Amino acid sequence: MIRYRGTAHWVDQNIGWEPLTEFMYSREFAKIMSYLGFGFDLLIVPLLLWKRTRIFAVIAALAFHLINSVTLQIGIFPYFALAMAVFFFPPEAVRNAFFRKKTTYLASSYEFQPRNTNQVVVTWVLAIYFSWQIYLPLRHWTIPGDVLWTEEGHRLSWRMMLRTKSATTHFYYVDKESGQRALVNQNEYLTPLQKSRVATHPDMIWQFAQYLKKDFEKKGKEVEIYVQSQLSVNGGPYFDYIDSEVDLADVKWSYFGHQSWLLPEPVDYSKKKEKRR
């Protein structure tokens, strides 16, 4: 729902038709868009495979992905998906549409005969490869904690458009020799886009802490790096995210496990925990 608030705000400012604006701000609009997206993903491949519906499917894909690109701003993915649609057309149709002046290459059957006789090795390599591809999107189930909170195992898992995050994240360094503690000016190191990405991604937080450590070493200082961060998920309240007592410059990243310096996720992301009196 949060993803479409920007679009609703644009409609409110530029069209100004109140019924449309209210509808686009509503939960019902978000549900309709979600079900339309689900239906599109479910049907688009069969419709592209069937010759009678292929053109209509391409038109639907064009509209769907362009709307996603404009409203959700998800980068190159919509255009990459549109480019893949060309593979559903016969080679002759693609040549006639885009390569009319090129001569057709007709290879003999001999050229495409398998030349690798060591089928056992090839079979094992392919089995390992496909097993890895199955493991990657499912690996977050083997890591403690909610991937919605920790981000551990999120990448390459196709968990798209499930959450919107915002955070306030501050980095502090402590000079080991003098004990001086000071706030790091992130603007000296990061662009606005980088700051927003670092703030909500634990791996980037750790990487930036490592970078700061090396940068201070170049200046002749040995430092500890601490982080204070609060995170909001899907427009909910902000919760403490990082253990501010852990020196992130002195910890290693666990590539297939849980980072102990991430605080536990809240029981309910939409409700702030009440403080005891």
> Domain tally for the chain?
2
In 133-195, where do the E strands start and end? 165-175, 181-183
pLDDT tens sequence across 129-139: 999 999 999 99
Establish if 147 belongs to a structural domain.
no
Q: Which of 128, 127, 147, 123 is nearest to 137 (CA)?
A: 147
Establish if 12 belongs to a structural domain.
yes
d(Cα 119, Cα 4) in Å, to the nearest integer? 51
pLDDT band at 256; cut points 50, 70, 90: confident
d(Cα 263, Cα 202) in Å, to the nearest integer? 11
- Find all residues with CB under 8 Å of 224, minimum gap 6, and list them: 173, 174, 176, 247, 249, 250
pLDDT at 7: 66
Average pLDDT score over residue span 98-122: 70
* 173 and 90 assigned to the same domain: no
Establish if 51 belongs to a structural domain.
yes
pLDDT at 229: 97
Whether pLDDT at 277 is above 50: no
pLDDT tens sequence across 145-192: 999 999 999 988 888 777 889 999 999 999 999 999 999 999 999 999
Establish if 87 belongs to a structural domain.
yes
Establish if 196 belongs to a structural domain.
yes
d(Cα 70, Cα 74) in Å, to the nearest integer? 9
What percent of the chain clears pLDDT 70, i.e. is strictly above it?
88
* 88 and 165 assigned to the same domain: no
pLDDT at 276: 42
Range of the domain at 51: 2-94
Establish if 117 belongs to a structural domain.
no
| The 165-175 sheet, strands edge to edge | 181-183, 165-175, 223-233, 239-240
Establish if 45 belongs to a structural domain.
yes
Entry field: residues in the chain: 277
pLDDT tens sequence across 33-54: 888 888 998 999 999 999 999 9
Cβ burial of 221 (10 Å; 0-12, 13-18, 19+) is: middle
